[in-house]
Structure 1
Amino acid sequence: MNTPAAFTPPLRLTVDGETADIATLDAALIFAERHPRPKGDYEGLIRRLQGAHSEAQKTEAADAFRWWAESNALFAPA
Structure 2
Amino acid sequence: MENMTTKKAAEKVVATIKDFVHQLALLQDLKIEKIKERTIEDFAQEIMQDKRKLASNPRQATLENVIGMYKKALS
Q: TM-score, normalised by structure 2?
A: 0.30
User: In terms of Rg, which structure is larger?
Assistant: 2
Q: TM-score, normalised by structure 1?
A: 0.30
Higher helix proportion (structure 1 or 2) = 2
Higher strand proportion (structure 1 or 2) = 1
Q: More relative contact order in 1 or in 2 (CA 8 Å, sep 6+)?
A: 2
